[in-house]
Chain A
Amino acid sequence: KAGVTQTPRYLIKTRGQQVTLSCSPISGHRSVSWYQQTPGQGLQFLFEYFSETQRNKGNFPGRFSGRQFSNSRSEMNVSTLELGDSALYLCASSLGQGESNQPQHFGDGTRLSIL
């Protein structure tokens, strides 16, 4: 069974640009969560999607957005990139509800560098 797949693995952008990251969950998983990992702030929850609906959101500005498709694949978009957006962005998937929503299985992340 394939794990969580994130593409691309590495990305370099400049300030002001926008970026889209992709996450394909484990087959059968309906929940996809996104996290930002930085040395200073650690692992911070961005948002979670379940059945194409954003079910939960962390404390990030509106420049960070996401969506989920009918096949549970998810994309995350960051607009007007800032230097502080440089981070490892991790995607995690899980079955979806209640106890079956855990544990989350993580992808290897997308390393985003802003120049």
Chain B
Amino acid sequence: AQSVTQPDIHITVSEGASLELRCNYSYGATPYLFWYVQSPGQGLQLLLKYFSGDTLVQGIKGFEAEFKRSQSSFNLRKPSVHWSDAAEYFCALFNFGNEKLTFGTGTRLTIIP
């Protein structure tokens, strides 16, 4: 069975500092991985996706993620966070076998001045 784990429930970062949000997955084949962001009261916005190829993928809003098969990880990074990045971030895995998208439990990001 597929699963996605986001070990950090809540992370606090100072504005301007770097950010890394962790995501680990369990899946028997090549995963299709996504990072979504959700602001309060809003839906999910796609930040970036990994299907195949280059393991370092660039997304919107200055985010990037690196796929590491050996570590079953797909961590999200940003070199310098802005107050507007405060939100909840979800890692997700898509299984083409059953056409299901499985989400992690999310990481809430707080930005302090």
Interface residues of A (CB under 8 A from B): 4, 6, 33, 42-43, 45, 48, 55-56, 58, 90, 92, 98-99, 101-109, 111
Chain B count of residues within 8 A CB distance of the other chain:
23
- Minimum Cβ distance to chain A for residue B86 (Å): 18
Which residue on chain B has the smallest CB distance to residue A33? B101
- Minimum Cβ distance to chain B for residue A32 (Å): 12
Q: Which of B84-106 contact A (CB under 8 A)?
A: 90, 94, 96, 98-106
When the two chains form the complex, which single residue of B36, B42, B44, B100 contacts A45, counting CB atoms closer than 8 Å?
B100
Q: Which of B24-80 contact A (CB under 8 A)?
A: 32, 34, 36, 41-46, 49, 51
Which residue on chain A has the smallest CB distance to residue B45? A106
When the two chains form the complex, which single residue of A99, A101, A102 contacts B34, counting CB atoms closer than 8 Å?
A102
When the two chains form the complex, which single residue of B46, B90, B104 contacts A103, counting CB atoms closer than 8 Å?
B46
